[in-house]
Structure 1
Amino acid sequence: MTTSKSSERNRPAQRQAEIAELVLQRGSISANDLSELFGVSLMTIHRDLDELERQGIVHKFRGGVSAQPSSVFESNVTYRLRAAREEKIALAHRARTLIEPGMAVMLDDSTTTLELARLLEDAAPLTVITNFLETIKLVAGMRGIRLIALGGEYYPTHDSFLGVPCIEAIEALRVDMLFASVSAVSNNYAYHQEQEIVLVKRAMIRAAQRSVLAVDHSKLGRVALHRLVPLSDFDLVLTDSRAPEDSLLEMRENGIRYDVV
């Protein structure tokens, strides 16, 4: 490493950007490892991690840092965009078969429904309603798509709009279909870590004539802090072929309609 590159790397902003990228790639890493990799003190690393946590990029735990979700924290949207991409694409293609021209379709702020949004241009004319900034930017450029963006308080960690204004905007609407995802599914319930997102998703379910839950296999058999709704509140659950058999059996025994893609 040249002196100029070393100097550049030791600038706090540059070092924090590199730490964030490393954590997003690996999922988690210890503070000691980061200290050795970047050649700075543990105190400096903890200051960097405090700043990254403040920005909502990572979550600190005793001795290290993680970008992965836990039962209490949802992962940063950048990490979610990378996770289970093939499964999400497969789920999106199955969900697309349920959409017909002329529908009003609501998409939540999940990266799973973002993959569905990429497939919507050939379904036009279509009305798309969402609170996810990534989906808003994507759909805004599509011909034949009427976009309704749900406002509210912007949450950088989720790259979406939440809060009372968002819920009130949802309650003023009635849509044909909702496509949503959650962080965890277990014991015939859907769960999520963040209460603000739980409240918004509940409002979305109430606003839809039909609701579809799309969850890749990594979400099954897990719980999170807040219980969202029973799976029976969804008309259909979509998951992928790596779904645990005990999770599928549990849904069958409780009369939950599901498709494996």
Structure 2
Amino acid sequence: MTTEPEGELSRPARRQAEIAAYVVEHGSVSASDLVEAFGVSVMTVHRDLDELERQGVVRKYRGGVSAQPTSVFESNVAYRLNTAQTEKAALARYARTMIEPGMSVMLDDSTSALALVDLLEDITPLTVATNFLPAITALTGRRDITLVALGGIYSATHDSFGGMPCAEAVEALHTDLLFCSVSAVSPTHAFHQEEEIVLVKRAMLRAAKTKVLLVDHAKLQRTALHRLAPLSDFDVVVVDEKTPEELIRPLRDHGVTVEVATF
């Protein structure tokens, strides 16, 4: 599993993410379809598919490959690192305006929060707590940033730490800010498709003074299984400028503070 920052995936990891997106779009494809679409050898395609199957993104069968359920696919970090990059960059720039030197900041294991990491260098000193291994790796050795690595049970699919040990580590802290994201947002609640991820995110909500939800426009048009929290638990919900007004209005009608991040 790659731990490179967003926008810096290795070439095989980027190709695998693109292959995964192609398979999801088409439902099921043959290996020869992928050879033609990506201009690589049959051996390379099978090697990529073996890795994607190991990650739980696709299911191989004789002569071809099909996508796992969307919720499984969207939980995969290689996929998340390679999607909505422009939107996440805009959300991160807005989030950066909320941080002042001397603050303590918690980042969850979302790639939306990860996009903020490279914007922190000129607002130090800071304390940053996170359970996301790519963020931990990127922040290691940064001058004037005190890094609190939130350990727990490691998940290769998410490239992060979770479970009860991580939730307990989170609950030992109290930070000024939390930046987090979710799988889906309704007019009243935030949702995530995985129960074990909800456990840690709820602990993070309890541990932060100011809670900021970062969501690109696609997440306001999705559903997910587990209810994380009412949107009223967040001080601010930040969306990108591609978010239609008809999706923003119901949030504001329910008393949610919504800010729009421009590109």
Residue 30 (structure 2) pairs with residue 33 (structure 1) = yes
Shift of 1:126: 0.3
**Which residue number corresponds to residue 207 of structure 2?**
207
1:18-57, aligned counterparts within 5 Å?
20=16, 22-24=18-20, 26=22, 28=24, 29-34=26-31, 37=34, 52-56=52-56
After superposition, the Cα gap between the structure-2 partners of 1:224 and 1:248, relative to the gap in structure 1 and judged at 3 Å, is: same
Asked if the contact 2:14/2:82 (under 8 Å) is kept, the reply is no
Residue 62 (structure 2) pairs with residue 66 (structure 1) = no
After superposition, the Cα gap between the structure-2 partners of 1:72 and 1:253, relative to the gap in structure 1 and judged at 3 Å, is: farther
Deviations for 1:29-76, whole angstroms, at most 9, x for unmatched residues? 45443255569xxxxx999967733433x1449985338x83565331
**Which residue number corresponds to residue 190 of structure 1?**
190
State the secondary structure of the residue aligned to 2:70.
Answer: coil
Shift of 1:187: 3.2
**Which residue number corresponds to residue 10 of structure 1?**
none
State the secondary structure of the residue aligned to 2:116.
Answer: helix
- In structure 1, what residue type is equivalent to 2:138? L
Asked if the contact 1:74/1:194 (under 8 Å) is kept, the reply is no
Shift of 1:82: 1.1
Shift of 1:215: 0.4
Shift of 1:17: 8.3
- In structure 1, what residue type is equivalent to 2:20? L
Asked if the contact 1:154/1:160 (under 8 Å) is kept, the reply is yes
Which consecutive unaligned segments of at least 5 residues does structure 1 have?
1-15, 40-44
Rg larger for: 1
After superposition, the Cα gap between the structure-2 partners of 1:27 and 1:115, relative to the gap in structure 1 and judged at 3 Å, is: farther
**Which residue number corresponds to residue 260 of structure 1?**
260
State the secondary structure of the residue aligned to 1:242.
Answer: coil
After superposition, the Cα gap between the structure-2 partners of 1:176 and 1:22, relative to the gap in structure 1 and judged at 3 Å, is: closer
After superposition, the Cα gap between the structure-2 partners of 1:252 and 1:36, relative to the gap in structure 1 and judged at 3 Å, is: closer
RMSD of aligned residue pairs (Cα, Å): 2.8
After superposition, the Cα gap between the structure-2 partners of 1:199 and 1:25, relative to the gap in structure 1 and judged at 3 Å, is: same
Which consecutive unaligned segments of at least 5 residues does structure 2 have?
1-11, 37-44
**Which residue number corresponds to residue 232 of structure 1?**
232
Q: Distance in 2 between matches of 1:121 and 1:46?
A: 41
Q: Distance in 1 between matches of 2:94 and 2:238?
A: 8
Shift of 1:100: 0.5
- In structure 2, what residue type is equivalent to 1:26? Y
**Which residue number corresponds to residue 88 of structure 2?**
88
When structure 1 is superposed on structure 2, of 17-26 and 97-106 the one drifting more is 17-26
After superposition, the Cα gap between the structure-2 partners of 1:141 and 1:18, relative to the gap in structure 1 and judged at 3 Å, is: closer
Q: Distance in 2 between matches of 1:245 and 1:177?
A: 27
After superposition, the Cα gap between the structure-2 partners of 1:116 and 1:38, relative to the gap in structure 1 and judged at 3 Å, is: closer
Shift of 1:121: 1.2
Q: Distance in 2 between matches of 1:54 and 1:251?
A: 38
Q: In percent, how many aligned pairs have the same letter?
A: 57
**Which residue number corresponds to residue 181 of structure 2?**
181
**Which residue number corresponds to residue 141 of structure 1?**
141
